[in-house]
Amino acid sequence: MIRRSLISLLVAAPLTGVYGQLTGNNLFEYQMGNLPYSDPRDLSAHYDQLNLAYRYKGLRATLRYEHFLSQNEGSSYANLSQFQVQYRKDKLELKVGNFNETLGNGLLVRGYDIAGSVFEEESYRSRYGFYRDMLGFSAKYSGDIWYFQAMRGKSLVNTLPPTLSMDERRIDLVEGMETGVSLFYQTVGLILMRNSNPFEKDNFYSLLFSGSIPGFVSYNFEYAHNLKNGVPTFAMSESSRYGMYGSLSYSLGSFGLSFEYKNYHDLLIGTGISDPPTTVREHKYKVLNRSTHVPQLTDESGIQLEGYYTFSNSEHLVVNYTYSLNEFFEDYRFSEVFVEYSFYPGNKSNLTFFADYASDEFKSEDTRYAAGSVWEYTIIGSWSTQLHLEYQYIEREFAEKELLHNGVVIVGFTKSPGLTVSMVWEMSTDPFLTDHPDTPDIESDTRHWPGIEASYRINPTNTISLFAGKRRGGPACTSGICYEVLDFEGVEIRLKTKF
Amino acid sequence: MIIRTGAMILLFSYMAVLSGQEPVFRLRDLDDQWKEYADLKGDQLTVIDFWATWCQPCVRSIPLLNQMSVELKSKGVNFFGVSIDGPRNQAKVKPFIQSMGVTYPIIRDIDSELMKELSVSAVPTLVVYDAEGEQVYFHEGFRPGDEELIRNHIEELLDE
């Protein structure tokens, strides 16, 4: 009913003389190919996501339409997957429909929408936009001194595909409010939240403290705890559910430093509506991004320290140290040291080096080294070339010690502003990846993923991209959210349109 | 299904020739103070740079945009940055950007509200608005040579 009304509003409003602004974008993706070792090798599928927004003064209506067509029986769908009506007047904002909201630092609840990402899960084989939203309503008042936010909605389990019903995909009912007072750059806040699903009903509160000495130091602290009869409200015991996160940021001239602390215990709420800060560096390099440490919310504590220094000629240095501890039936430690240095040799080059050392007991990877470089060179005018090299060495010990190697080479050519062509080659000696699942033997030959990527901006609002070859999957983190990306072998075409 | 989607795109593309409106938002800056578009816009042009701490091309583009913002300030061009970092990277935003000597204001778009409103789907993305609130330029990505292209485009817009 609400959806139909919204579509009518979107279509009818401009035609009735109520002139506002209509904007939108569309992502079309066609794939011919499949997962490795899967038949048919030339599986044909296409996905489309259309986002539309109509705004007239303070009123805004949006919708998202997604469809997926595949030869795989049962994975195709066509859905109006999101709709929202928003009203904004001065400091007040009201939303009905689908929305992404975060309370505090996300210790209790966080919604997100990773723009442009398409997710696929191996067992369902449907492709769909990767977001975790809520369906309900929210209200926000952003006063200069006092702020207030309230929400009620059913949260999406985004690992379940749109081929399932809404009841199956939206299990958690989240009701929450956040309020706070800000004075002299210091803020004190309180969150109350209830999460209900057929299996559990939990109440939580959270205290927030944040502030800054403008220009120099900023801090942010949150303590969340469940509210339950018989459990002390401030206890950090084995039987209680709690989360503590704190950060301190410092800047002076060209030097910057951030320090973060975390302590999470039994903080996996409902089907996973919470997403507290990981305090683990989000890497942009493939070998490091894939090896990232994913926090275990059953029990995890740790710190992260990151420093920046920019030299007078824009040379930039980043140093990071991370330590995490999981206390299960035995302790598992993760530690990482990362250094990155970017500089400009000559007036046509940009060179970045990185080096990384990590130890991850949870993955039985006691020693992990990685290093690499990215070199960009302007050939002439708007033509440039890129050379991207990454290498990783891992010592993993389960029953016996294994020495593993991962590598990435990317050679690219670019013509500003719109054309990029890259040849990508990845390799691995990891037995989890080199083994052919359909044979009784354990193959150990080096596995390769060669591919070609090309992107052409037809005009400022249309971009077409092509991938052909083999693409390596694995864990990946984008915009702070980590998820599993599947391998792909074949051809993929993407068309992005903005209007 | 394909015909229905195509028809919807055509219909809405036709309707998209309606008048533009400047962005509407109320987001916090790096000192947790609320900022609206009116607080940040320039007399002639407003340049909005969407970026993130984990984005390598952003790191390369930011010093060049900062230099451009200083040079064009007197011509009525205001720059401001929009950090799309989520809670995971919030603690890093301020020391990162201040160590690079960025002088233009930065606001935090933690829930991607402004990003969605302006149909931004990747970082870095540069969006330019004129004094009437009309979106006059949209540039996605950053490759060597883009800085000249962006500067030339802004100069052309100022000359119009």
A29 within some domain: no
B21 → chain A, closest CA residue: A21
- Specify the DSSP element, H or E, that contains B158: helix B146-159
Half-sphere exposure at residue B151, Cβ-oriented, CA atoms within 13 angstroms = 15
Q: Contacts of residue B146 in chain A, CB cutoff 8 Å?
A: 416-417
Distance CA B28, CA B107 (A): 6
Full domain range(s) for residue A417: 278-499
Question: CA-based Rg of chain A, rounded to a whole angstrom?
Answer: 24
CA distance, residue A88 to nearest chain B CA (Å): 9
The candidate with the shortest Cα–Cα distance to B22, out of B160, B135, B111, B100, is B135
B1 within some domain: no
CB A190 within 8 A of CB A215: no
Domains contained in chain A, number: 1
A159 within some domain: no
pLDDT of residue A316: 93
A98 within some domain: no
Please tell me the total number of residues recorded for chain A in this structure.
499
pLDDT in tens, A237-261: 788 899 999 999 999 999 999 999 9
pLDDT at A452 > cutoff 50: yes
Q: A110 and B87: CB-CB below 8 Å?
A: yes
pLDDT band at A13 (very low <50, low <70, confident <90, very high): low
Q: B149 and A52: CB-CB below 8 Å?
A: no
CATH number, position A409: 2.40.160
A465 within some domain: yes
A279: left (phi over 0), alpha (psi -120 to 50) or beta: left
Q: ipTM of this model?
A: 0.91
Q: Percent of chain B at pLDDT above 70?
A: 88
The candidate with the shortest Cα–Cα distance to A409, out of A374, A383, A434, A444, is A374
Task: Kindly report the pTM of this predicted structure.
Answer: 0.91
pLDDT in tens, A111-130: 999 988 899 988 899 999 99
Surface of A (408-467) touching B: CB under 8 A: 414, 416-417, 420, 457, 460-461, 463
B6 within some domain: no
The candidate with the shortest Cα–Cα distance to B29, out of B69, B83, B65, is B83
pLDDT of residue B14: 45
Q: B96 and A308: CB-CB below 8 Å?
A: yes
Average pLDDT over residues B36-50: 96
Full domain range(s) for residue B44: 21-159
Q: Contacts of residue B115 in chain A, CB cutoff 8 Å?
A: 115
A95 within some domain: no
DSSP 8-state assignment for residue B89: G
CATH number, position B91: 3.40.30.10
Half-sphere exposure at residue B54, Cβ-oriented, CA atoms within 13 angstroms = 24
DSSP 8-state assignment for residue B10: H
Helix (H, G, I), strand (E, B) or coil at B30: coil
B7 within some domain: no
Helix (H, G, I), strand (E, B) or coil at B149: helix
Lowest mean pLDDT: which of A131-140, A385-394, B146-155? B146-155
Helix (H, G, I), strand (E, B) or coil at B145: coil
pLDDT of residue B19: 42
CA distance, residue A453 to nearest chain B CA (Å): 16
pLDDT of residue A476: 84
CA distance, residue A69 to nearest chain B CA (Å): 9
Domains contained in chain B, number: 1
CB B152 within 8 A of CB B135: no
**Can you give the three-state secondary structure of chain A, one letter per residue?**
CHHHHHHHHHHHHHHCCCCCEEEEEEEEEEEEEECCCCCCCCCEEEEEEEEEEEEECCEEEEEEEEEEEECCCCCCEEEEEEEEEEEEECCEEEEEEEECCECCCCCCCECEEEEEEEEECCCCCCEEEEEECEEEEEEEEECCCEEEEEEEEEEECCCCCCCCCHHHHEEEEEEEEEEEEEECCEEEEEEEEEEEECCEEEEEEEEEEEEEECCCEEEEEEEEEEECCCCCCCCCCCCCCEEEEEEEEEEECCEEEEEEEEEEECCCCCCCCCCCCCCCCCCCCHHHHHCCCCCCCCEEEEEEEEEEEECCCCCEEEEEEEEEEEECCCEEEEEEEEEEEEECCCCCEEEEEEEEEEEEHHHCEEEEEEEEEEEEEEEECCEEEEEEEEEEEEEEECCCEEEEEEEEEEEEEEECCCEEEEEEEEEECCHHHHCCCCCCCCCCCCEEEEEEEEEEEEECCEEEEEEEEEECCEEEEECCEEEEECCEEEEEEEEEEEC
Which candidate from B110, B122, B149 shows the least CB-CB separation from A102? B110
Distance CA A13, CA A56 (A): 9
pLDDT band at A11 (very low <50, low <70, confident <90, very high): low
Average pLDDT over residues A453-475: 94
pLDDT at A62 > cutoff 80: yes
pLDDT of residue B15: 47
